[in-house]
Chains A and B, each alone.
Chain A
Amino acid sequence: MLSEQERREIEAHARHYPNNRAVCIEALKIVQQHRGWVSNEGIADVAEALQMKPAELESVATFYNMIFRKPVGKHVILLCDSVSCWIMGYERLRQHLGDKLGIRPGQTTADGRFTLLPNVCLGACDHAPVMMVDDAYYQDLDPARVDEILASYQQEEEKSTDGNAADS
């Protein structure tokens, strides 16, 4: 079942459209934001709320690449693989990220921290090569800069773990 929060957020967006169906993509994004990804249960919950058939909603969910139908890590790395970034060194970065994280594109690290996904042009081509980690852009990348960025996410988590320990 949708949580009260999820339901409220979906209803706020539904007001922008003349029918319920039109809000389904936004609803999938809302469920994903709260649950990390869209499971079969998530599909069933949204379908029920919008009075759609689950299979119909599934056909929409699988079309859009930013709806995750499989679990992802705590942070999602979107590495731009389009033409300007390719010219400026995408393949070297993909290799480096893969080696560093011990995963291939499409996989999640064993500790569940990072998922690596190649992605189409991120619209920052004058600063190629580019990647996003969750909502943040990182530009003019090289392997050394990538290492710094990965380390910063690791440190941030260690800090927040310490904080939690102090609270308890």
Chain B
Amino acid sequence: METPLTHNISPGKEPPDLAQYEKAGGYAALRKALSMSPAEVQAAVKESNLRGRGGAGFPTAQKWSFVPMGDDAPRPKYLVCNADEMEPGTFKDRMLLEGDPHQLIEGIIVSAYAIQADVAYVFLRWAYKLAARRMEESIAEAYRHGYLGKNILGSAYSLGMHLHVSAGRYMCGEETALLNALEGKRANPRTKPPYPQVSGLWGKPTIVNNVETLCNIPHIVKRGAEWFKSLSRSDDGGTKLYGVSGRVKNPGLWELPMGTSMREILEEHAGGMCDGYQFRGLLPGGASTDFVTAEHLDLAMDFDSMKKADSRLGTGTMIVLDDKTCPVGMLLNLEHFFAQESCGWCTPCWSGLSWIEQILQDMEEGRGRASDLEVLESHTRLLGPGHTFCALAPGAAEPLQSGLKYFRDDFERHIHEKRCPWSPT
């Protein structure tokens, strides 16, 4: 089984420097891309069926295709790498940033070439200090060796690259909010349309791609779409970084074929549940995905299969709920997070999420009422897609709506017993 994304990565060790990265075949994809036209690079990525790894799964080449090309296109154009990994339960991009920074840098340069971007920004979350240091050193190294700057490797193509280390807030992961943060503003989302591809950073054409998405690009260009599709067990090409956290024997992160089943990840890689703990459910791809339960575990972890369980692949990093953890308490933790991180820009989000949090808090403290379940259910609809500027509130509604469906008895026990059944007192 091939693992292109993590091939050079040895956790706990220093990442390959530029010379080692080149020796392992690095920057060959950039040389190849520069001999192709931007349209040919876009076509190769389109053919590969690469879908965005940030959570939404939008086809990468299709996203790129909306960028105006040619001599009349507005300039400068921007490519932004979204390295603001802040989805609770998600720890995948960190490995790529810390473990093989040149792979990401090459991915950004090749992608920037495909849309003829003039400047690239890496928007990195503040907590990843080690990644910040390594990215900074590696960008400088790439400049020194002619992979960045004017006339890259003697070609007509030029690109500047800068690292922006964020000052916090989950909202910055939303692509239009991220653009506001880069412009030095509050990270509120922007109305779409216009889409960033046409009017993004400082009103110029801009692409925002996730770290893992960009890391796939050099491999696709170098080895071709057919090879990339052959890595996958599903129609979506490539491998995927899958993670597991919670009460399992061996929590961790693994690069596996896209479409590996949840059961295989949970049982073979994460080692199954810890002794004394039973599986009750899991959030498959971070805090803002719907719960799935034991009946769904044989589904493939890919974008389309997860829809069969009314859930999403999201970031591919699962959070496991065990029988000794209160599902209502877990939802309170999740909704507290979303309420706190709401930017306050639109009313259904800031008002609705704090209302949800208060109801769940009351339930946990023995003040639940029979009518609460109906109020919570109405919120999952009112905060759903189409009622807010961005995906934060709809994301918050996902674990809640599925939690109400699968753990209804647990909610009712809280209300009838006027206490949390998991609470020691």
Q: Please report A residues at the B interface, Cβ cutoff 8 Å.
A: 16-19, 21-26, 28-29, 59-60, 63-67, 78, 81-84, 86-88, 120-128, 132, 135
Q: From residue B158, how far is it (CB to closest CB) to chain A in Å?
A: 16
**Which residue of chain A lies nearest to B87 when distances are taken between CB atoms in the complex?**
A121
Chain B residues closer than 8 Å to A66, beta-carbon distance: 126, 166-168
Chain B residues closer than 8 Å to A82, beta-carbon distance: 88-89, 287, 333, 337
19 A-B pairs, CB-CB below 8 angstroms? A16-B164, A22-B184, A60-B185, A60-B186, A63-B186, A64-B168, A65-B168, A67-B167, A83-B283, A83-B330, A84-B246, A84-B319, A86-B329, A87-B321, A120-B88, A121-B86, A123-B85, A123-B91, A125-B89
Chain B residues closer than 8 Å to A126, beta-carbon distance: 91, 243-245, 251-253
In the complex the two chains form, is A120's CB within 8 Å of B170's CB?
Answer: yes
CB contact list, B110-166 vs A, under 8 A: 121, 125-129, 162, 164-166
Chain B residues closer than 8 Å to A125, beta-carbon distance: 88-91, 243, 245, 251, 317, 319
Q: From residue B151, how far is it (CB to closest CB) to chain A in Å?
A: 20
Interface string of B315-354 (1 = CB under 8 A from A): 0010111100100011001100100110100000000000
Q: From residue A54, how far is it (CB to closest CB) to chain B in Å?
A: 15
The listed residue (B165, B185, B202, B247) touching A88 by CB distance below 8 A is B247
In the complex the two chains form, is A22's CB within 8 Å of B89's CB?
Answer: no
In the complex the two chains form, is A87's CB within 8 Å of B129's CB?
Answer: no
Given the interface contacts A125-B243, A126-B252, does A84 sit within 8 Å of B88 by beta carbon?
yes
User: Which 5 interchain pairs have the tightest Cβ spacing?
Assistant: A64-B167, A125-B245, A82-B88, A126-B251, A66-B168
Q: Decide if B183 is an interface residue (CB 8 Å cutoff).
A: yes
In the complex the two chains form, is B319's CB within 8 Å of A123's CB?
Answer: no
Q: From residue B132, how far is it (CB to closest CB) to chain A in Å?
A: 10
**Which residue of chain B lies nearest to A140 when distances are taken between CB atoms in the complex?**
B251
The listed residue (A65, A67, A124, A132) touching B91 by CB distance below 8 A is A124
The listed residue (A17, A26, A121) touching B89 by CB distance below 8 A is A121
In the complex the two chains form, is B169's CB within 8 Å of A64's CB?
Answer: yes
How far, in angstroms, from A122 to B127 measured CA to CA in the complex? 7
Given the interface contacts A16-B162, A86-B330, A123-B127, does A21 sit within 8 Å of B247 by beta carbon?
no
**Which residue of chain A lies nearest to B324 when distances are taken between CB atoms in the complex?**
A87
Chain B residues closer than 8 Å to A132, beta-carbon distance: 127
Q: From residue A87, how far is it (CB to closest CB) to chain B in Å?
A: 5
Chain A residues closer than 8 Å to B46, beta-carbon distance: none
The listed residue (B170, B183, B321, B341) touching A22 by CB distance below 8 A is B183
The listed residue (A17, A60, A84, A120) touching B341 by CB distance below 8 A is A120
How far, in angstroms, from A82 to B128 measured CA to CA in the complex? 17
Q: From residue B277, how far is it (CB to closest CB) to chain A in Å?
A: 10
Given the interface contacts A22-B184, A66-B168, does A123 sit within 8 Å of B125 by beta carbon?
yes
Chain B residues closer than 8 Å to A121, beta-carbon distance: 86-90, 287, 337
Interface string of B238-258 (1 = CB under 8 A from A): 000001111100011100000
How far, in angstroms, from A134 to B389 measured CA to CA in the complex? 34
How far, in angstroms, from A97 to B351 measured CA to CA in the complex? 32
Q: Decide if B367 is an interface residue (CB 8 Å cutoff).
A: no
* 5 extra A-B contacts, CB within 8 A, seeds A122-B127, A127-B251, A135-B129: A16-B121, A83-B89, A87-B330, A120-B341, A121-B287
In the complex the two chains form, is B186's CB within 8 Å of A59's CB?
Answer: yes
